[in-house]
Amino acid sequence: MGVQEEITWLKDDPDRIAVFISLGKLGQATIRSLKDDMSIDDWWPVKYHVDNLVKRGLVNLKDGSYELAKDIGEKVFKGLESEKFMGKEIKAV
pLDDT in tens, 59-83: 999 999 999 999 999 999 998 887 7
pTM of this prediction exceeds 0.85:
yes
Q: What are phi and psi of 87, to 5 degrees?
A: -80, -10
Whether residue 89 is predicted with pLDDT greater than 60 in this model: the reply is no
CATH 1.10.10.10 assigned to domain 3-82? The reply is: yes
What percentage of the chain has pLDDT greater than the value 70? 89
Q: Which phi and psi angles does 5 have, rounded to 5°?
A: -65, -40
Task: Using only the alpha carbons of the chain, give its radius of gyration.
Answer: 12
> Smallest Cα–Cα separation from 84: which of 15, 1, 7?
7
pLDDT in tens, 14-56: 999 999 999 999 999 999 999 999 998 999 999 999 999 999 9
Which pLDDT does position 75 carry in this prediction?
A: 95
**Cα distance between residue 43 and residue 36, in whole Å:** 9
Are the C-beta atoms of 91 and 19 separated by less than 8 Å?
Answer: no
